[in-house]
Structure 1
């Protein structure tokens, strides 16, 4: 498996950050991959846009952030507008 990038986004309180953490832990425990997980959210505890990013790779991860996501999940229009950049080349 080469580098595989996932970006999850939605409104605060929808569980996107927890989903990112679970995906990252499953990559380590089940497939013994190198994994990087990062998250971003606004100052609101609920309702504001939130994002979780997970990078999987069999080799060492040189850059821990998602550059060109292989999978993009947006649960709200606001999240898509803010984090929906999807340029896979």
Structure 2
């Protein structure tokens, strides 16, 4: 119970919004890639972030957990969506 959580939200280098992986789930910023995302170097608004989180589940009922799970599903390991 006292171990550190693997989940952390840090500021994206492209949009400045909360991000937990590369490429950024908000703006697709990837610091090592040639494409720097949709927002770089602009700032993502709170409203944009809330819209992305809410849209991660059916009928706009998403929360932080559904947003993270939806983005994790887009990785190569989950290429085949049953």
What TM-score, normalized to structure 1?
Answer: 0.27
Answer 1 or 2: which has greater strand percent. Answer: 1
Answer 1 or 2: which has greater helix percent. Answer: 2
> Which structure would you say has the larger Rg?
2
What TM-score, normalized to structure 2?
Answer: 0.29
RCO (CA 8 Å, sep 6+): is it higher in 1 or 2?
A: 1
